Structures are given as C-alpha cells and as structure tokens.
C-alpha cells in the first residue's frame, strides 16, 4: 500500500493533510482514499487543492543574509503524490516494454558500430 511508503516527517501541502496521519491511519483510510482516487481517475478530474503547491523558502546556510541564501521548496499534497505513484506503478511496465522495443535497433546499431570500430 502506497500510504505506508509516505515519509512521516514531511511537511503537509496546501490541503493541510499531514503525512504522519496518512501513514499512521493507512489501514483505516485505505477504502475511502481508494474510492476518492478511483473517482478522480474515472472522471478525469483532480481536486484543485491537489494541484496547488505552496512555495517555502528553505535556508541553504545556517545564517542566511540575503535572498540567495534560500532555495525554494514546493509543498504539494501527499494525496496527489500517492495518486501519481499509483499511476506510475501501472504505467512504468507498459512504457518500459515499449522503450525496449523502440530502442532495440538503436542499441544493436550502437553495439555493432562500437565492435566494428575496435578492429
């Protein structure tokens, strides 16, 4: 289950849902979140708050003095990240197989060229 893979000490996104809550209550939340994520995929719509991020300046040094001493970090919804991981889990094998078939002639050509140039 993807909820158990969430890092519990990550800051919440704009939706305010804590990663610790999602990880700790994964078993209790599983069915309702599965329903929400499935509905989102079936309708082809994602709640606006899941697509929103909050930029937070994080100091690069221990005593920042100007704007260059900060790096921007975007806080996004843990629910959206979970949905993205679920979709990626299902798409990755399909894309990997296509990539293997598409790149096979290129790989063979490169191997042949490398071998023939070493003679």
Q: Whole domain around residue 11: which residue ranges? A: 2-117
- Per-residue HEC secondary structure of 82-115 comes to HHHHHHHHHHHHHHHHHHHHHHHHHHHHHHHHHH
> To 5 degrees, how large is the angle CA 91–CA 97–CA 103?
125
pLDDT tens, position by position, 11-40 = 999 999 999 999 999 999 989 988 998 898
User: Is 20 or 108 the better-scoring residue by pLDDT?
Assistant: 20
Tell me, rounded to whole angstroms, the distance of Cα 53 from its chain centroid.
14
Higher pLDDT, 101 or 9: 9
Q: Which of 1-5, 95-99, 111-115 shows the highest mean pLDDT?
A: 1-5
Instruction: Output the six-digit token pair for 32.
Output: 């309702």
Q: Quote the CA–CA distance of 45 and 99 in Å, as a whole number.
A: 28
**Does 100 score more than 60 pLDDT?**
no
In this predicted structure, what is the pLDDT of residue 42? 92
Q: What's the rounded mean pLDDT across residues 75-104?
A: 77
Distance (Å, rounded) from C-alpha 72 to C-alpha 55? 6
Q: Report pLDDT for 82.
A: 87
For the chain, the domain total comes to 1
Question: What's the pTM value of the predicted model, to 2 decimals?
Answer: 0.68
* 96 has a pLDDT exceeding 70: no
What is the chain's alpha carbon radius of gyration, rounded to the nearest angstrom?
Answer: 21
């Amino acid at each position: 289950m993807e909820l158990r893979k969430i890092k519990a000490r990550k800051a919440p996104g704009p939706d305010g849902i804590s990663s610790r809550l999602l990880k700790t209550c994964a078993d209790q939340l599983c069915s309702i979140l599965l329903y929400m994520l499935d509905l989102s995929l079936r309708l082809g719509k994602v709640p606006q708050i899941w697509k929103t991020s909050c930029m937070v300046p994080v100091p690069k040094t221990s005593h920042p003095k100007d704007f260059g001493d900060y790096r921007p970090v975007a806080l996004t919804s843990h629910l959206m990240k979970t949905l993205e991981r679920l979709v990626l889990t299902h798409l990755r094998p399909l894309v990997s197989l296509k990539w293997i078939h598409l790149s096979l002639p290129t790989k063979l050509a490169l191997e042949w060229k490398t071998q023939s140039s070493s003679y």
